[in-house]
Amino acid sequence: MKIRYLGHSAVLLNIGEHEIIIDPFLTGNPDSPVSPDEINADFIALTHGHGDHFGDTMQIAKKNNATVIAIAELAKHSASLGAKVHAMNIGGSHKFPFGKLKLTIAHHSSSTPDGKYLGDAAGIIISSNGQTIYHAGDTALTYDMKLIGLQFKIDVMFVPIGDNFTMGINDAVKAVEYVQPIIAVPIHYNTFPEIECDPQEFADKVAAIGLKAKIMEYGETIEI
Ligand code: NI
Ligand code: MN
């Protein structure tokens, strides 16, 4: 599995012949290393409907005839805009051609800018070929993360650290302690003034509890 970090909460996965993009907020992100035209994803997985996650979903979906995977209300909203969708809900998993995807609990809100309800916010777990990644989405620290750590051996956890809208660094370190991933990658920081923070502080605090954090550069790829 190849994992490319595209900034904010956007993560691109290459698994065999499949390309999956999570939370493709590219155009509105001044530091994005790619434009949506360059994305050839056949699946788009969404944690929730806020603009900094839904982002370029429709453009990418239409260009590639990609399937949008999301909680039922957000899937329905995407379908109403013309996307092919696969609706799910929290706690459910489904086997896709690229592997198994499960929606997990996230404590956060989700609506369009004008207030249309888009279902609950979610985290996403993707397992393929014995490897598992967990994208926590936008969320507060939840004790349910401990359950994720017990149920799954997480290779890479994407964890929001920017505070204000999600966990801040100290809560994010606690989340990493609950989940016990091989590698924790900080996301959702420094994109806006409200979420400015130092990812190195997160990495140092994760190291202090005996775990490993990796600060991925925008556009950087790792292979697991
Ligand atoms: Ni959000
Ligand atoms: Mn967000």
| Closest ligand relative to 50 C-alpha | 1
Question: 25 CA to middle of ligand 1, Å?
Answer: 12
* Contact (Cβ atoms closer than 8 angstroms) between residue 188 and residue 162: yes
pLDDT at 88 over 90: yes
Q: The tokens of 124 are what?
A: 């996403």
pLDDT in the model for residue 81: 98
pLDDT in the model for residue 126: 98
Question: 129 CA to middle of ligand 1, Å?
Answer: 30
Question: 212 CA to middle of ligand 1, Å?
Answer: 26
Residue 16 buriedness (CB in 10 A; 0-12 / 13-18 / 19+): exposed
pLDDT in the model for residue 190: 97
Question: 107 CA to middle of ligand 1, Å?
Answer: 10
* Backbone dihedral angles phi then psi of residue 198, each to the nearest 5 degrees: -105, 110
What residues have their beta carbon closer than 5 A to ion ligand 1? 50, 138
**Average pLDDT of the chain, as a whole number:** 97
- Segment 13-38 shows an average pLDDT of 95
Residue 32 buriedness (CB in 10 A; 0-12 / 13-18 / 19+): buried
Question: 50 CA to middle of ligand 1, Å?
Answer: 5
Please state, in angstroms and as integers, the Cα–Cα distance from residue 34 to each residue in 10, 16, 24, 191, 193, following that order.
11, 21, 10, 15, 22
pLDDT in the model for residue 30: 84
pLDDT in the model for residue 141: 98
Question: 17 CA to middle of ligand 1, Å?
Answer: 30
Question: 211 CA to middle of ligand 1, Å?
Answer: 27
Residues with Cβ < 8 Å from 215, sequence gap 6 or more?
Answer: 185, 186, 199, 200, 202, 203
Question: 137 CA to middle of ligand 1, Å?
Answer: 8
* Backbone dihedral angles phi then psi of residue 201, each to the nearest 5 degrees: -60, -40
Q: Whose CA is closest to 191, among 53, 74, 56, 68?
A: 53
Largest CA distance in the chain: 47
| Closest ligand relative to 111 C-alpha | 1
- Please state, in angstroms and rounded to a whole number, the distance separating the CA atoms of residues 96 and 79: 19
- Segment 211-216 shows an average pLDDT of 98
Give per-residue pLDDT as tens, 129-139.
Answer: 999 999 999 99
Give per-residue pLDDT as tens, 160-204.
Answer: 999 999 999 999 999 999 999 999 999 999 999 999 999 999 999
SS3 (DSSP) at 126: strand
pLDDT in the model for residue 206: 98
- Tell me how far the alpha carbon of residue 182 is from its chain's centroid: 17
- Segment 197-223 shows an average pLDDT of 98
pLDDT at 31 over 90: no
| Closest ligand relative to 48 C-alpha | 1
Question: 196 CA to middle of ligand 1, Å?
Answer: 16
Question: 108 CA to middle of ligand 1, Å?
Answer: 7
- Segment 125-150 shows an average pLDDT of 98
